[in-house]
Amino acid sequence: MDTILEFCHSRIRWGVLLALIVAIVVSWTGYFSTAPIIVWHRGVAIIAMVLCHVQLVIGAVLYGMRYATFNDRFSGNPALLRFWKMEHIGTMILAIVLVTLGRTLSKKAKTEDGKQLRVAIFYTLGLILILAMTPWPFMSKFMNAYGWL
């Protein structure tokens, strides 16, 4: 079960990144061109938010399943232990809060520009945090104990 969830968590990140990037590009483009929001623009923002929440739930289940073994798995590398126990999960929660806040505030905005600007800003901030705390393969020196797919 652990490996299936890890596989899903590892693969869904690409959907999250793609959906966030599309939502951000569409929102910034719409804001600067002062174009009205089209239905698929809202749809992409909603899909990005939903994928973020699915990713968070899978990550939280993995975190709960592995929390007891963190100290044993990463005992030789305190930086890696700190990354998995605190930094990764805390920053990802903050990023998903920002994405959710952007979507919620965009629904409450009065103008089309205001809606697009809120989605663009909050989704961009969320994406930056997600990119910063994702264990990428090129981070192998730091993440060598984890063995990403």
CB atoms within 10 A of CB 28: 17
pLDDT tens-digit readout, 25-60: 999 998 888 877 777 888 899 999 999 999 999 999
* The pLDDT value given to residue 141: 59
pLDDT tens-digit readout, 18-28: 999 999 999 99
Mean pLDDT over residues 65-94, rounded?
81
| Cα angle: 57, vertex 15, 79; to 5 degrees | 60
Residues listed for the chain: 149
Rounded to whole angstroms, how far apart are CA atoms 22 and 48?
Answer: 9
* The pLDDT value given to residue 145: 47
Identity of residue 112: E
